[in-house]
Homo-oligomer: A and B are copies of this chain.
Amino acid sequence: MNAPATTPGISRHPALDGLTASLRELLGPRCSTSDSEREHHGHGESYHPTKAPDVVCYPLTTEEVSSIVKLCHQAKVPVIPFGAGTSLEGHVVALHGGVCIDLSRMNAITAVNAEDLDCTVEAGVTRKQLNEHLRDTGLFFSVDPGADATLGGMAATRASGTNAVRYGTMKDNVLALTVVLADGTILKTGGRARKSSAGYDLTRLFVGSEGTLGVITEITLRLYGIPEASSVAVCSFPDIASAVNCAIETIQCGIQVARVELLDETCMRAINRHNNLSYPETVALFLEFHGTEAAVVSQAEMVQMIAEGHGGEGWRFATSAEERNKLWQARHNMHYALLALRPGASSWGTDTCVPISQLAACITEIKEHAKDAPFPVTALGHVGDGNFHMGFLIRMDSPEEIREAERLNGLLVNRAIELGGTCTGEHGVGYGKAKFLRKEHGDAAVEVMRTLKASLDPDNIMNPGKVLPA
């Protein structure tokens, strides 16, 4: 769904020729200015138009990243980090041209400390690669945004996913970082201690900074022991409010679900069709429980009782690994299942998060606004966190549909903020959400963010135009 690349070279910086020569000298064939590589690096997976960088570099070490950034710093040319290109808010679009640093070749798993439940990886390692590597250790890495993103990209956008309700987001699971600053300085933040009160939390400052304060090159992550037992249950509800209230009561009772996902009737229809399944086509919760065998059974029993009190019915279990995987595979393939509902359409995914008590009302209200929309509107959510994605199945060749999707997205984001929520639960700001930052955080907070940015990147070369509003 990407618009065509802009004319090559349109944003050329005066110092670019000299810089490109220096980068070639440094990296040899790992520095490219080919149209196809530039175009590939000028977009993520969202509807934001492509804008290609002038040069693409493929460093192999933190020291090489530092050398690249030093050259860009001298030339005052923008630096845009790039991982797997799965961004959904235009993070990697080279708005002002410049040098794309593609970290995908820095994909070594540097250390796994099984006793300490941590590991250190280079920024280009993907989450699936890491979990594959961990397979025989009895441990796993928990953050799962669906896409097989790089861990550097996931740290940079403060990513999360379906099991954040139990295991937290990247904010909670990054212990330490190596970051290359705007002047090429190599910074180490945090450490391997599980907790620390030793000074300002630089790790959390860089997690979610989307390449605007520095380039993340290495990450130390928390790991978890694979629980003795897991089970997944699906339960149908008469409407969104009943399902959300079941989730609220579950969490209030201190029952720690590993995942609790809400899917509306359109999602369930898409899942049935795409995966040849036969769930009731009404609002559903997908729940996962982790723990000892007995704990999993007793948690599920308690939630089943709570669900019945909220009109839940048709409780179905999947306990074998195969059944569980099939079910979550269906959930993770939702994007494609939805696309199949309207052949030729693209899915415009939203990403708001509200206090859980406001979740049902917020979804219902936006669905009401969307009832005359010329395209299907879906809703699914990580109910335990109040984070939900409404999806608009639009034709990107229809300006009218794009306008309507923009209108609904604006309504949704503004409403979420008014309800005490956020414009982005897990996708990040990029440049798509920058315009909402002031409404969400207020002028003072945006000014503090600007002050921090200016203090660490006075020439504004680090991913310019992202995060902070113009």
Contact = CB atoms under 8 A, between A and B. Distances in A.
A240 to B, nearest CB: 15
Contact of A467 (B199, B420, B445): B199
B290 A294 contact: no
A384 B222 CA distance: 13
A297 B293 CA distance: 11
B193 A386 contact: yes
Contacts of A164: 195
Interface string A428-470: 1100010011001110111011011111100000000001100
B205 A201 contact: yes
Interface in A377-430: 384-387, 420-429
B200 A116 contact: no
B224 A254 contact: yes
Interface stretch (A23-31, A92-100, A272-280, A351-359): A351-359
B421 A193 contact: yes
Contacts of A196: 158, 353, 422, 424-425
A7 interface: no
A427 B197 contact: yes
Contacts of A172: 168, 172
A200 B208 contact: yes
B200 A225 contact: no
Contact of A256 (B291, B448, B452): B291
A397 B160 CA distance: 54
A299 interface: yes
B199 A429 contact: yes
Interface in A158-202: 158-160, 164, 168-169, 171-172, 181, 185-189, 191-202
Contacts of A347: none
B225 A194 contact: no
A424 B118 CA distance: 20
B356 A194 contact: yes
A15 interface: no
B195 A355 contact: no
Nearest to A227: B254
A184 to B, nearest CB: 11
A321 interface: no
A329 interface: no
23 contacts: A115-B356, A115-B357, A116-B355, A117-B356, A118-B355, A158-B197, A168-B172, A186-B444, A188-B441, A193-B353, A193-B421, A194-B386, A195-B385, A195-B426, A196-B422, A198-B423, A198-B440, A200-B213, A200-B467, A202-B449, A205-B452, A294-B294, A452-B455
Interface of A: 113-118, 138-139, 157-160, 164, 168-169, 171-172, 181, 185-189, 191-202, 204-205, 207-209, 213, 224-228, 248, 251-256, 290-295, 297-299, 302, 353-357, 384-387, 420-429, 433, 436-437, 440-442, 444-446, 448-449, 451-456, 467-468
